[in-house]
Structure formats: C-alpha cells, structure tokens
Structure 1
Amino acid sequence: MPEEKQSATEGLERRNHELSVLNATARELNRSVRLDEALEFTLSQVAELLELETGWIWLLDEPSGEPYLAATRNLPPGLASDPRRMDGSSYCYCLDTYRRGDLDGAANVNVLACSRLADLVGGTGGLRYHASIPLYAGPKKLGVMNLASPGWRSLSGEELRLLYTIGDLLAIAIERSRLFDRSAHLGMMEERNRLAREIHDTIAQTLSATVLQLESAEALLEEDPCSPRAREALGRALSLTRQNLQEARRSVQDLRAAPLEGRPLAQALRVLVDRWEEESGVAARLKTVNGASPLPPRVEVALYRICQEALSNVARHARADRATVRLTVTPERALLSVEDDGVGFDPCRIPEGHYGITGMRERAASVGGTLEIESASGRGTTVRAGVPLKEG
C-alpha cells in the first residue's frame, strides 16, 4: 500500500539520519581532547537530532563531587541573565535524584519538571520540563545532560536509546579529556620542580657565596676601622644580599608548593580570605557561584594572584572595615571581584611607584582577560577581573 510504503521509507530515512548523527558524534568525541568542545558539540548534535533547542550539562567535580555547570545551549533569559540560578550548589531536583542513584540505567533518560524554572514568572521561554540523561563511566557518576524545548513531546523508545548511547559516548570523552588534563598537570609539576632546582643551584648558591664574601670583608674591616664609609657600604650590601637570598628561597618555595596545589580556585581563595582576615583585622567574606567548576591552571593562578594583590592593597591603603571577594564561573567566563568599603581613590591618578595595579592588569591580560577598577574618594574600591573561557 502506498501509505505503508511511504511510512516505511520515512522511517528508514529517519533511522539513517539518526545513525549519521551518531557516527558524526562518535568521530568528533573521539577526536577532541578539549572537554568544552566535546560538551558543546554533543549538545548541538542532540538538539539538531531531536529538535530540543535548549540544553545544559552538569558535571561532578572530581576532588569534591560537587556539581558545576559545564556547558549550555540557548538558555532562556531567566537562567542566562542570572548565573546564581545555574549554580551547582543550589537545589536541583534532577541533580539530587541523580546523585542518589535514582536515574540509574538506560531505562531512564527521565522527563522531569525543572526546579530551577519553577518559580520564574517570566523569562522561561516556555520551558518547564526537560529530559535528564545520566552520564556514567562504569559505576562512577560523571554528571547529567538536560535537554528541553517549549513544545515538549514524549520521546520514543528509539530516541531514548539513542540518547543513552550518546550519553555513553560523551562519558568516554569526558574521562579521556580528564586523563589528558591530568597528564598535562603532571608535566607542569615536573617543569616547576625543574625550575625550582635550577634557581636553587644558581641564584641561591651565588647569593650564599656573596654573603660569605661580604661577611669576610666585614670581619677584615673590624681590624682596620679607618674606613667607616666602606663599612657602611658593605653593611648595606650585606643587608640587601640577605634580603635577596630570602626572596630567592621564597620563590623556590612558591614553585615547589603553589597555593593552588591540589585545590580548586574557590577552595584556595577561601584559605586566602580567611588568612587575610586574621592578619589584617578587616572583616572579609567570600561568595562563589559555580565555584566547583574547574578552570585552566593559568587562569586559576592569574585570578588567585589578582585577588592576593587586591586584598594586599586593601590592607595597606583602604582603611576599610569590610572586604568582599566574589567568584562567578559560567561556561563562557570567569569573573572575580574584590570590593571594600574604604576611603577610595581616583583610579586615573595613581602615584608613581605603585606597581600593584599594573601587575594585576598584566596578569589578567596574560590569560586573555581584562581588569577594571571602580573607585572614588570616600566610596570604597572594587577591582573586577574577567577572563573568557572560550576561544574566539
């Protein structure tokens, strides 16, 4: 019959299309070692295949197990304009269900009401429900992929199986990307230790020898006190050399045990802020959004050092009663701000010799970011650093 033949033809064409998308997804995920590329490509392929235009992916941070937003596609305005609604630490029914193990197995790719959209009056783009695809590497939980569309429809058994297969491919790509990042991190640690040994064997050794020579010269001058100016000059040289030796040793220690070693940026900032509060006597607090989200090592170090310098400036110059550090991470951007309620200053009239602000700008620029300073006399100061996390 013509209708049956047409239906069979359409079914075959749909099946061929699904297989072509699956093959393209497998090729791309097998090629890429960059996690952000793998996640975004998968969202785009699934959206094209099932006409589910909106999606996002949660991953669980390996050290802490905390969820963070790793990728998004066409978020509705109510979620896109307020990163706090997409913070992994806020309540989420699908994530909580997944972490309890209730989304286990191919039988479900479940359809759930979205708790993040439930209390929004506007800005939802008509979204209320999404499919949740669990991501596993064997028994290990990796995260959840959510897919949504305003005109929600039930997914067929074939579509559910296809989503689960894509979830398996994505899980493999996630694990491979993380293994690649770990190997790169080990290489960085080896290089840092090599530099530490090099500094110790060159600069520190040379300065130690210089100190010995100067101490000998000082001892000889004690026998001939006829040259007080030489004694004073040698004393100053000895003091400066000892300071330089101490600085070289501090640099070696920084290289061997960086403050971020083994901790994500949010945890390192927590330690920094707590220690700074104790040392400065100024009340301080840290606020994070998606703080568990891992960042490239160079970005983490740059933002940490910017925060360190900004807090140091608050302690030295601001005469503040309170300081607040904020870290907000989205799949597109990392934002750090340090705000105080101190005396403020004119950012356009920075005295010569104050290199801290220049150093912060250079650190932000070194990772493709920008640094802005907002301040006025009597109105406190806010330092904002923003770093893009996507190329181009």
Structure 2
Amino acid sequence: MVRAVAEAARIHLDAEWILIALADGALPEASPRHLILDSAGVAYAFEGLSGATDPGPHLPDAVLNRLNDILRGQLAQFRLPVIERQHAHVPIELDDVVIGAFAAWTPRSRALDTSDEVVMRILSSQTAVALQNCSLFSKSQALLAESEARNAELLATQRELGAAQRHQVLDSERHRIARELHDSVAQTVLSAGMQIEVCRGELESQSASSDLIDRLDLAKDLSRSAVEQLRSAIYALNHPGDAQRSSLPEMLDQLATVHMPEDLRVTLKVVGSPVEMPSDVEHALLRIAGEALFNTAMHGHATRAIVRLNYTPAAVALSIADDGTGEPEKLRMMLRLSEAADVDGHHRGLANMRARAREHGGTLEVLRSRIGGVRVVATVPAPNEKRTGHDD
C-alpha cells in the first residue's frame, strides 16, 4: 500500500524523487520504515523493503539529508506543509501527532502549486492509514502466534490432566475390585476351606472311606490355591506396574487381561480409530467393563470372555461377551425389577451399569452372546455428537 501511494505521487507530480519515511520509534511494528522512488519508479531502501535497491551513491544530498532528519525525529520544522516550486513536504500525522513525512522533488519543467499540496495531503493521510494498518496487522500476528502457543500449552496441559485422571480412574477401579475380592470372595473361599477341614476331621473320626477323604483333601487344596490366587490378584491390583498407560483401550487391556482369574481367558478387540473422550465418559465405560467382567468371573461360570471396543463417527460401543451359563432373559427381568424397586443383590450391578451409560446419553443392553453366554453392550455418543439421555 505504501509503495502504491508513493507511485501515485510520482506519477501525479512527474517527480524526480519521492520520499516517505517514519521517525524512529513511531509505529515500531510498521513496515517499511522508509521508501524512496526515483523518476523511473525504482524503489530504494536501506532496510525493510523486499526487492528494493540499496541507495548507495544514488541519492541526492537533499533526499538523503531529509531522510536522516525524519529518521532522527527532527520533525518540528516539518509540522506544516511546505510547497515550493520544485519541492513539497507534507507531514504524516496520526491522532494529531507527526510521525513522519512525505516529500517530493520535481524537475524544473514541473512547477508545484496549491492543488498539488491537496493531493499530497490526501496521499499523506492514506500513507498514515496504511502504516497504521500494517502496524496493527503485525501486532495481531504476534498476538495470534502467542495465542496459538498458549493454546498448544493448554492442550498439552489438558492431555496431561486427562492422562492423570485416567490413571486415577484405573487405580480407583483396581482398589474397588481388590476390596471386593478381599472382603467378600476371599473370605468366602477361606470359610469354605475351613468347613472342608472340619468335615474331613469328622469323617476321619467316623472311619469314612479313603476315597471320600481324598476328595475332601483335593477340595481343601483347591480352596487354598484359590485363596493364593486371590491374594496375588489383590496384590497386583494394589501395586500396578503400568503408570504410563493412559488410553481407554490400554486401561481395558489391563482390566481385562491382567487382573482376571487364570481360568477365565479374556480377549480385547478394538475396532475403528480410537478417539480421546471426556474422562468422565471413559471412567463410566471402564466401570461398566469392570462390573461386567467381575460378574462373568464370579457368577457366570465362564471360561472365555471377549471385550470389544468399537469406535464409529456417531458412537462408541463397549461390549463384554462370555461363554458362561448366564441367561439374558433372566438378567433382563432382574434388571427391570432392580430399576423398579431399590433392591440389593449382585443384579444391582446391571442397574448401575445402565445408569452410568444413561448418565452420558447412552444405552445398555443385555443380549445372548455368539459364544453362548451373555453379552452386555454399552453405547455412548461419540465426543462430537450431542448427548441426550434415552432408554433402550
């Protein structure tokens, strides 16, 4: 824009030299700081103008001296326009403050008059606007770059917080399962072992058959082995070695393949491209998976389970299928009863799972699995979809 203004002045005045310059310190972000055109339209500048020629010895003393005066801020003598026969000087003003100057030198054949002063005043105003716009643009670019840098830092911080929250969720789930195993299952197995020992002692006193005593010994050994396995699982749950794991598929992998009984083989399948979801949604899905696998291991008498996490543009579906003895129709009936009345019992876990899914606009279904047992499916909207609560 500044180049265009200078070119317009050169053509209108048929000038030999055109000078536009800003005083040092005025509009520090503006560029170019100065511009000189000769009669052929060749641009000269000491700095800040792409494609300009180094002035070197080309500048007349009058032009060079005027440039130095303007750059040094010696503008007091130029506060008013100067119109001479072959020379004109008009201040560049912004908010009534002189920030630079616009000067022209013409050949002897081109005398300047008052109409030329009007034209130069107009061009000077356009120059001030152009330089101010340039300064504002440079500031906005700097602010944009700073904003982008801060946004990048914020996103990195959010990712770190999300990872920390997911770690906390996984630790919480581990400790919950460990408490349930210790407070209920382990104590029950210990009690069963004690009862077996009592029965064995009574049978020995009654001279029972050795085959029956051998079976009780086997049952006692099995209960002792079960207690040891439970203790190992509880220790592993309370002392995880996966602090770096953070994504939902990784947390499900830990939950599904590391912290389950040895006689239950669990497989995790991830379909689609995983996307980062809000931590509360991932927490809900992880709790649903934990509850479903706990039911499979403790109540379903299953030997195999498949955890499937399916990412689509519209939704994320989590399913847990097993080959156990569970009956979907019976579980659905128990689910309806538990929702209709606040009842206790392990079937309350299904109601909790459905409540977690609904809390995030999702659904929960209990179906027959393809491998023979029960299939629990929780579906929640994808992060870019609007969440609305609804029933199955």
TM-score (ref. length: structure 2): 0.35
Higher relative contact order (CA 8 A, sep 6+): 1
Structure number with bigger Rg:
2
